[in-house]
Amino acid sequence: MELTLALDHGSSRSLQAQIFEQVRALILDGRLRAGMALPPSRLLAERFGISRNTALIAYERLISEGYAEARGTAGVYVTSIPPDALILIRNARRPDASGPTPEASSEPLLCFAGAPGGGGDRPALDFWVGRSDAASFPLKTWRRIVNRLLSGGSGYLTDYGDPAGLPELRRAIADHLGRARGMTVTEDQIIVTAGGQEALNLVLNLLQSHTRQLCIENPCYLGASMLFSGASLAIHPIPVDEEGIRTDRLPTARGSLLYVTPSHQFPTGVLMTLARRLALLRWAEETDSFIVEDDYDSDFRYDGPPLTSLAGLDRSRRVFYAGTFSKSVGAGLRIGFAATPRLMWDDARLLKARMSNGQSWLEQAALAAFINEGHFDRHLRRLRQVYKPRRDALVAALNEQFDAPRISGADSGLHLAWRLPRGFPSAREVQVLAREVGVGAYALSSGAAFDFTGEAAEDTLVLGYSSLDERQIAAAVSKLRLMLSSTAASIPPFPQSSSGPR
Ligand SMILES: Cc1ncc(COP(=O)(O)O)c(C=O)c1O
């Protein structure tokens, strides 16, 4: 089969990215249909004068994102995404201007404190979720940039800036989203916020007058549940399974605002399948609903290329994107951002002006320089090299110490979820007992996660591995093992497959 691609060999965009994006567009537009074979990588390479490796990398990415599947020696085929989902997306209309009108809420909204008990007395071996590694913070570079900015005079410190955020930072964020998340956004769609939390707050407020009910994945991020619970609207918790949010459980009534974490569901770590993503977009279109995509930790994907965000797939401007630098640079910066459809940006900017009239200039300017001078991409690469061995160490230790542990969410982010086997104490009990032996291990239903139904996963622990090194991780899991085997008779004293805790 012949593919019509327009590859620009002189572009700064890599050839594999161009192939991926163009083939993906052909699939989403319905020009490449489910079951169609893609040309063999060798033919593609010959036809477009590229290396076979380049073609293979592009195909691997299409496969890992669910657009295509490898069928052994038969080749690579377009996956069977429901064709009606594609048609709807292809024909998606822009929301009309008579749609949502923003209006600030007078509700006082809560903030998320971040650590159990206020964070004062953490155990030495602490699997608290989402902490970055303090030793990896690029202090020298940051100090150099800040000194340089300060030596340029104090004018920016004494003046107000654009409430939407420093233009060069918004440009840098928009470029990053294009490169890393497959989004086509410009600086006049970005609002810089005080962390991802304020981005969620902003979107909720922006859409409140249009919203009749709130939908939220369950279990979910505590910060989102706190915002939603304070919003005086009916809340529909929607269950999550191993493919992501159950799209068949979404309300059919019009005017929902849905909160989701498709790239690494918080807290279960599940990656939402492409079919579910497309179903979500179709649902939003059909029910005149909006989606807020919380993409809090997708800079860390260890076993494949970055994934296209839900917002990157959205053709009908239904998805508002909330991002944060809390994981990728540091939570103390308090810098996050919202990416809004262009049509809504002026209102979002006005709302941000009402909420806080903008952000600190110095941190924004430092972050913009950090990104624009290439430090951010280098820093992310370094962090992945730090976190991947930690992830590997945790998965290996759980496998060594426990029999076939059921782990989810290990392929990306900074935490994974471990479903405890039958016969183990409940996750809450494990949390308490672990604390007694100096290990912080958190039940899904405590800490940074929230469960609206009270049913979800009393048997699931959430383990953040980013602030412990490999040795500490192995020691912590050994302690857990010892503690568990001394408390539960059904757990053998030592793992059968290994020589015992070290
Ligand atoms: C799921 C999720 N969303 C959003 C955030 C936002 O964090 P912040 O407000 O620090 O940027 C976090 C932080 O831990 C998170 O875990």
Indicate whether 93 belongs to any domain. no
Report pLDDT for 379: 97
Residue 331, pLDDT > 50, answer yes
Residue 100, pLDDT > 70, answer no
Residues 303 and 404 in one domain: no
pLDDT category at 66 given cuts 50, 70, 90 is: confident
Residues 179 and 326 in one domain: yes
SS (H, E, C) 151-198: HCCCHHHHCCCCCCCCHHHHHHHHHHHHHHHCCCCCHHHEEEECHHHH
The average pLDDT across 339-358 equals 96
Q: What digits encode the pLDDT tens for the residues 129-188?
A: 878 899 999 999 999 999 999 998 778 999 999 999 999 999 999 999 998 888 999 999
Residue 84, pLDDT > 70, answer no
Query: Strands 415-419 and 460-464, how do they pair?
Result: antiparallel
Indicate whether 55 belongs to any domain. yes
Report pLDDT for 487: 77
Indicate whether 10 belongs to any domain. no
The average pLDDT across 304-323 equals 91
The domain that holds 416 is classified in CATH as 3.90.1150.10
Residues 225 and 334 in one domain: yes
CA nearest neighbour of 205 among 321, 288, 289, 103: 103
Report pLDDT for 456: 62
The average pLDDT across 7-30 equals 82
Residues 369 and 474 in one domain: no
Q: At which of 81, 98, 118 does a domain end? A: 81
The domain that holds 27 is classified in CATH as 1.10.10.10
Residue 92, pLDDT > 60, answer no
pLDDT category at 491 given cuts 50, 70, 90 is: low
Q: What digits encode the pLDDT tens for the residues 244-272?
A: 999 999 999 999 999 999 999 999 999 99
User: Does the C-beta of 221 come closer than 6 Å to ligand 1?
Assistant: yes
Residues 206 and 341 in one domain: yes
Residue 288, pLDDT > 50, answer yes
User: Does the C-beta of 330 come closer than 6 Å to ligand 1?
Assistant: no
Q: At which of 358, 373, 388 does a domain end? A: 373
* Count: domains in the chain: 3
Ligand 1 atom at minimum distance from 195 CA: 11
Can you tell me the distance from the alpha carbon of 158 to that of 258, in angstroms, rounded to the nearest whole number? 39
Report pLDDT for 500: 39
Indicate whether 436 belongs to any domain. yes
Indicate whether 145 belongs to any domain. no
The residue type of 195 is G
Residues 460 and 366 in one domain: no
Range of the domain at 307: 160-373
SS (H, E, C) 308-338: CCHHHHCCCCCEEEEEECHHHHHHHHCCEEE
The residue type of 160 is Y
Residue 305, pLDDT > 80, answer no
Residue 497, pLDDT > 70, answer no
Residue 337 near residue 199, CB atoms below 8 Å: yes
Residues 336 and 444 in one domain: no
Can you tell me the distance from the alpha carbon of 175 to that of 190, in angstroms, rounded to the nearest whole number? 11
For residue 200, the CA-to-ligand 1 centroid distance in Å is 10
Q: What digits encode the pLDDT tens for the residues 443-460?
A: 887 668 888 887 766 889
Q: At which of 81, 102, 137 does a domain end? A: 81
Can you tell me the distance from the alpha carbon of 183 to that of 174, in angstroms, rounded to the nearest whole number? 8
Indicate whether 266 belongs to any domain. yes
Indicate whether 101 belongs to any domain. no
The domain that holds 180 is classified in CATH as 3.40.640.10
User: Does the C-beta of 266 come closer than 6 Å to ligand 1?
Assistant: yes
Report pLDDT for 495: 57
Can you tell me the distance from the alpha carbon of 270 to that of 241, in angstroms, rounded to the nearest whole number? 8
pLDDT category at 114 given cuts 50, 70, 90 is: very low
Indicate whether 122 belongs to any domain. no
Residues 367 and 417 in one domain: no
Percent residues over pLDDT 70 in the chain: 87
Q: What is the mean pLDDT of the chain?
A: 86
Mutate to test the pocket of ligand 1, among 193, 293, 324, 450 (most ligand atoms within 8 A of CB): 324
Report pLDDT for 493: 58
Ligand 1 atom at minimum distance from 324 CA: 11
Query: Strands 213-218 and 256-260, how do they pair?
Result: parallel
- For the chain, the farthest-separated pair of C-alpha atoms sits apart, in whole angstroms, at 68
Residue 50 near residue 15, CB atoms below 8 Å: yes
Q: What digits encode the pLDDT tens for the residues 366-404?
A: 999 999 999 999 999 999 999 999 999 999 999 999 999
Residue 31, pLDDT > 50, answer yes
Percent residues over pLDDT 90 in the chain: 61
Residues 454 and 357 in one domain: no
Residue 200, pLDDT > 80, answer yes
Residue 409 near residue 417, CB atoms below 8 Å: yes
Can you tell me the distance from the alpha carbon of 8 to that of 19, in angstroms, rounded to the nearest whole number? 10
Instruction: Tell the residue nearest (CA) to atom 7 of ligand 1.
Output: 196
Q: CB atoms < 10 A from the CB of 40, how many?
A: 15
Residues 341 and 478 in one domain: no
CA nearest neighbour of 339 among 448, 221, 202: 202
Report pLDDT for 178: 92
Residues 19 and 71 in one domain: yes
Can you tell me the distance from the alpha carbon of 124 to that of 252, in angstroms, rounded to the nearest whole number? 48
| 2 or 343, greater pLDDT | 343
Report pLDDT for 110: 29
Instruction: Give residue for tokens 């239904």.
Output: 318
Residue 99, pLDDT > 60, answer no
User: Does the C-beta of 326 come closer than 6 Å to ligand 1?
Assistant: yes
Residues 408 and 320 in one domain: no
